[in-house]
Structure 1
Amino acid sequence: MTDDNEASISKEPAVSHNESGHAVATRHDDHALPERFENPGLPDHVHRQGDNDEAAARRSERQVATLFGLSMLATVLFVVAYAVIGKDDNVTLPILGKVHALHVALGVTLAVSMLGIGLGAIHWAKTLMSDEEVVEERHTLRSNDDARADFVKVMSDGADSAQIKRRPLIKYSLGGALGLFAVPLGLQLVGGLGPFKGDVEDLRTTLWDTEVPVLGADGKPEMKNGKPVTRPRRLMRDPDGTAIRLSDVTLGSVFHVLPEGINDTEHPINQKVKASVILISLQEDRIKNTRERDWGINGVVAYSKICTHVGCSVGLYEQTTHHLLCPCHQSTFDLTEDCKVIFGPAKRPLPQLKIDVDDEGYLYAPHGFDQPVGPSFWERG
């Protein structure tokens, strides 16, 4: 062994054993290493203004109560807006343009209600709740009986630390804010399960149930016995708005359809959605249901596009299997058997729209659907 090797070996850290028998490095390059590092401890606690000044604490209390009060006011306004603003009322906003006033009112008031509770809780924690640093030593995961018995005391001490007992203004304002905040949630839950104002008939009908006026050569509606002459609505391409002739519908073709005369400026968007129809041509001998065959023409049939599960648009057609697919939750309908459900969460077939052809060869709907379209509702029956 050379001298260089001896020098290199001498620089290796020496190893000794402590009282517990564990190896401890004692030197490295002739510098001793500590056996353990000392606990640096916690920095000195910095007291807040409210900790020593009762006037400042009361000021913080009033600020927290004000935020909770703002939340209560916004919740009340939410309920008022829900009951007063009509479903067809609109408002024009920057960037967004024309939007439903009810949606804006509910969104703003609910946001302010939540913000008031959140900011109030944060300000309460920052200014009044105890912020003393606490160190908890590790212990056995399963608490012993004494620790469990002490749990109630710890929770009680926590309530005292939060000053919830000393600050009744905060206690009552928080209770009011949280209590009222449950109202919009319950209102949305109950109101969302069915028409809140009893407007059930709107769910039973679509624009296919109404007719359009017959126009004369001068472009004005024809009159008979002082009343406009009307006729059933034709099937129009969506979004082109052009009428569909029976000769346009070749075998295997698919048309997305809206009723004649629909106008975005006159009819709400929900009317357009409810009246959406898919028109498909298949071999007539593949249709197994007699009624479905009779309500179509030469294998051309029309069905509502609104899924009977949660109202998504059923717009995917598989020509080989003659299946209609809802892309939202994969409900699948068999077009050869009156669109009965063969897979997925939907429980009812898609409603069929009876179609016919007029003297000019255009497809039209003699009447509307024989049942409400879309998902179920309480009064459906």
Structure 2
Amino acid sequence: RTLMSDVEVADDRHPIEASPEVRAKVHADFRQGAAESGFGRRKLIRNTMFGAMALVPLSGVMLLGGLGPAPKTKLRHTMWAKGKRLVNMNTNQPLRPEDVAVGSLTFAMPDGMSEHDEDFQNEIAKAALMIVRLQPADIKDKRELDWSHQGIVAYSKICTHVGCPISLYEQQTHHVLCPCHQSTFDLTDGARVIFGPAGHALPQLRIGVDSEGYLQALGDFEEPVGPAFWERG
């Protein structure tokens, strides 16, 4: 800052296009070189070159293929399915509506999962759930209300920014915050983003109760969880 002048100087940019004379000479030289090489008459060389150029894209296919099998639709689905009970991650016990107190934040996973499973970490990274009980009158989003049970809403715990687990809940505002980059979501309005770098609302899981009175999922998330943009295509 001390070495550079504070005075701004504007200078006109000179034309970068070649003059008509130069372009004409380049074209003439190219035609002369092509004629002297006899390339147009040497079909074997010409066809070989065209064939080699046509095979160039295959090298990219082979390179990408070496990265492993394509995920197909695996990334779009989680362990949640219709009839899966919501299990408290702290007690490993299935949840009833009366277990979810107003103003509390409860974390859940699908029934049948165990931390001893070989693929547990990969699956819980997509299926981790947070449960909050709201007053039904406070829920602004109609779909959120329809997908809740007695004011109990279930949302993905995975932040849609870079995938950090959300763990902070403001009881008075019903906002949840990601501790990594402070993305904030409004649980009374479809968990839409109200602050921070997250680009998508948190996916909601539709819930109900089974014949024994336990909270259960009524299907999988209808959109991919987390931040992966290729899953949202």
TM-score norm. by structure 1 comes to 0.42
- Which residue does the alignment assign to 1:239? 90
2:118 is the alignment partner of 1:270: no
1:289 aligns with 2:141: yes
**Could you say which residue in structure 2 is the equivalent of 1:255?**
106
**Aligned partners of 1:341 and 1:379: how far apart in 2?**
19
Whole-Å Cα distance in 2 between the matches of residues 284 and 372 of structure 1? 26
- Corresponding letter in the other structure for 1:202: K
- Asked if 1:201 corresponds to 2:73, the answer is yes
Indicate the residue corresponding to 1:344 in structure 2.
196
Cα distance change, pair 379–298 in 1 and its aligned pair in 2 (3 A): closer
Matches within 5 A, 1:180-195: none
**Residues 378 and 242 of structure 1: is their aligned pair in 2 closer, same or farther, counting only changes over 3 Å?**
same
Whether the 8 Å CA contact 1:200–1:379 is kept in 2: the answer is no
Q: Quick one: structure 1 residues 310 and 359, their matched pair in 2 at CA, closer, same or farther if it must change by over 3 Å?
A: same
Q: Which amino acid aligns with 1:308?
A: T
CA shift in 2, pair 1:260/1:346, >3 Å: same
Instruction: Supply the distance in 2 between the matched residues of 1:247 and 1:265 (Cα, whole angstroms).
Output: 29
Aligned twin of 2:176 = 324
Counterpart CA distance in 1 for 2:132 and 2:115 is 25
| Residues 1:238 and 1:379: Cα distance change in structure 2 (over 3 Å) | closer
CA separation of 1:366/1:379 partners in 2, compared to 1, >3 Å: closer, same or farther? closer
How many Å apart are 1:379 and its aligned residue?
Answer: 4.7
State the shift of 1:247 in Å.
1.6
CA distance in 2, matches of 1:379, 1:235: 25
SS at match of 1:337: coil
The 1:295–1:264 alpha-carbon spacing in structure 2 relative to 1, beyond 3 Å, is same
Residue of 199, 205, 208 corresponding to 1:356 = 208
TM, length-normalised to structure 2: 0.68
Structure 2 regions of 5+ residues with no counterpart?
4-62
> How many percent identity over aligned positions?
50
Q: CA deviation at 1:263?
A: 2.0
1:311-363: CA deviations, max 9, x gaps?
A: 00011110101101000000000111100000000010000001101121100
Mark the runs of 5 or more structure 1 residues left unpaired by the alignment.
1-140, 142-189, 212-231
2:60 alignment counterpart: none
Q: How far 1:301 moved relative to its partner?
A: 0.2
Residue 298 (structure 1) shift: 1.4
Comparing both chains, which one has the higher relative contact order based on Cα–Cα distances under 8 Å and sequence gaps of 6 or more?
A: 2
Deviation string, structure 1 residues 189-245 (Cα, Å, up to 9, x no partner): x99xxx963204221000003x6xxxxxxxxxxxxxxxxxxxx11000013210111
More helix by share: 1
Letter of the aligned partner of 2:175 in structure 1?
H
1:208 match: secondary structure: coil
Asked if structure 2 preserves the Cα contact closer than 8 Å seen for 1:296 and 1:354, the reply is: yes
Count of matched residue positions in the alignment of Structure 1 and Structure 2: 169
Asked if the contact 1:356/1:363 (under 8 Å) is kept, the reply is yes
Give 1:376 shift: 2.6
CA contact (8 A) 2:75 2:231 kept: no
Structure-2 separation of matches of 1:262 and 1:379: 24
**Residues 355, 365 of structure 1: 8 Å contact kept:** yes
Q: CA deviation at 1:264?
A: 2.9
